[in-house]
Every structure is written in C-alpha cells, then in structure tokens.
C-alpha cells in the first residue's frame, strides 16, 4: 500500500472518529449507535473493493453505494445493513401496550377496524405508487435507449458525411492541381 493510500485511510479514520466524538458530545447518539456506526463502516461489504479503489479517502462510501435491484421495488429491512441496530436503538418509538379484555368495548373494536382499514389503504396506495413508478421507469428507460440509438445513428451519419467531404475535398484538390499543370500557354 502506498504512503498516499495509507495517509488517506488514517485521515478518513480520524474524520470518522471526530464525527463520532461530535455526535457523542451533542448527545445525539449513545454507546449502541456508536457501536453500530463502527460496525457499519469497519465491516467490509460486497462493494467495498470497488469503492475503496475509486474513493480511497472515503471509507464510508460503501455504505452509500448503489445496491443491485431485483426488478421489484419492495424494500427488505432484513437486507439492510442497519436494520438489526435500528429497531433496538430507536427509543422514540412507543411500544404497543396491550389492552386488557375488560376494556375492549365497541369503540375499541371500531377504532381497530378503522385503523386496519387505513393501514390496508395505505399499503395499497404505496403498492400502486410503486407499480406506477416502475412503469414510468421502464418507459423512460425505453425512451432513453431510443434516444441513445438515435444519437448514435446521427453520430454515424455525421462521421460518414465528414469522410465523404474529406474525400471530395481531396478529389477537388487533385483536379485543381491537374488543371494548373495543363494550362494552355499561347505560343507566338
């Protein structure tokens, strides 16, 4: 490893440590989130080799690398690198308190029914939006491919015309040189 890469790694680690200290000083994170941060940025991932070669000064870049999609737009929290820590370190989310059977009256069941209906509608809307987005993406990708093919065709035509122009220019210069050598000089 060259001294430049070594310096870049040390600088990046120092930046990450300073960032952790700033977060801790501001009370924005606890020991668990620092541990998760360290795991996230110190564990080599699938894209680390390419990202480290491209951006040697930024060891945190693999976390922001684009991940391959399977063609569906569903997000899998279990596949996320932070899903195991986010559920345990998020103290702001209230845990559901079970309602005792004696307190479950008609208003409770009506409220649950409305909530379930709203959740179902929300999921359907999100699913519909995802499908609409997929259709739009496919359409835009097709349009982009057509435009790229058209640009390629125009580039080829342009290059062909340049070649023809160069050929004609060369032929014209040859004709001009021949005409100048056969100039009729009148004799007396």
Name the residue with higher pLDDT: 159 or 29. 159
Residue 181 CA to residue 164 CA, distance in Å, equals 26
Q: Range with the lowest mean pLDDT among 52-66, 79-93, 138-152, 159-173?
A: 52-66
pTM of the model: 0.37
Rounded to an integer, the average pLDDT of 78-103 is 65
Residue 172 CA to residue 169 CA, distance in Å, equals 5
At 114, the pLDDT band (50, 70, 90 cuts) reads very high
Residue 29 included in any domain: yes
Residue 27 included in any domain: yes
pLDDT over 70 percentage in the chain: 46
Decide if pLDDT at 3 tops 50.
yes
| DSSP letter string, 135-154 | HHHHHHHHHHHHHHHHHHHH
In this prediction, residue 142 carries a pLDDT of 96
In this prediction, residue 95 carries a pLDDT of 85
Rounded to an integer, the average pLDDT of 88-102 is 76
Number of domains making up the chain: 1
Q: Range with the lowest mean pLDDT among 3-12, 80-89, 97-106, 127-136?
A: 80-89
Residue 45 CA to residue 42 CA, distance in Å, equals 9
Q: How many CB atoms lie within 10 A of CB 134?
A: 13
In this prediction, residue 38 carries a pLDDT of 66
Q: Angle at Cα 66 formed by Cα 52 and Cα 2, nearest 5°? A: 5
Residue 15 included in any domain: yes
Residue 57 included in any domain: yes
Rounded to an integer, the average pLDDT of 178-187 is 64
Residue 122 included in any domain: no
Quote the domain boundaries for residue 34: 1-66
Residue 59 included in any domain: yes
Contact of 55 with 99, CB cutoff 8 Å? no
Q: How many CB atoms lie within 10 A of CB 48?
A: 15
In this prediction, residue 23 carries a pLDDT of 63
At 184, the pLDDT band (50, 70, 90 cuts) reads low
Residue 77 included in any domain: no
Decide if pLDDT at 62 tops 60.
no
Q: What is the largest CA-CA distance in the chain?
A: 135
Of 83, 86, 89, residue with least CA distance to 31: 89
Our CA dihedral for 29, 30, 34, 35, rounded to 10 degrees, sits at -150
Name the residue with higher pLDDT: 183 or 187. 187
Residue 121 included in any domain: no
């Amino acid at each position: 490893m060259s001294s430049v890469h070594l310096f870049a790694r040390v600088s990046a680690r120092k930046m990450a440590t300073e960032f952790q200290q700033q977060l801790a000083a501001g009370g924005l994170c606890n020991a668990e989130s620092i541990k998760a941060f360290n795991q996230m940025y110190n564990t080599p991932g699938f894209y680390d080799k390419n990202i480290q070669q491209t951006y040697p000064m930024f060891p945190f870049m693999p976390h922001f690398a684009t991940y391959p999609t399977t063609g569906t737009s569903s997000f899998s929290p279990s596949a996320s690198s932070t899903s195991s820590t986010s559920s345990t370190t998020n103290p702001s989310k209230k845990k559901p308190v079970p309602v005792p059977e004696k307190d479950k009256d008609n208003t409770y069941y009506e409220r649950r029914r409305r909530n379930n209906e709203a959740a179902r509608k929300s999921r359907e809307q999100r699913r519909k939006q995802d499908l609409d987005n997929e259709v739009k993406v496919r359409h835009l990708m097709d349009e982009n491919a057509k435009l790229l093919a058209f640009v390629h065709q125009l580039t080829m035509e342009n290059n062909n015309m340049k070649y023809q122009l160069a050929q004609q220019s060369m032929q014209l210069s040859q004709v001009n040189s021949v005409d100048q050598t056969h100039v009729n000089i009148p004799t007396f």
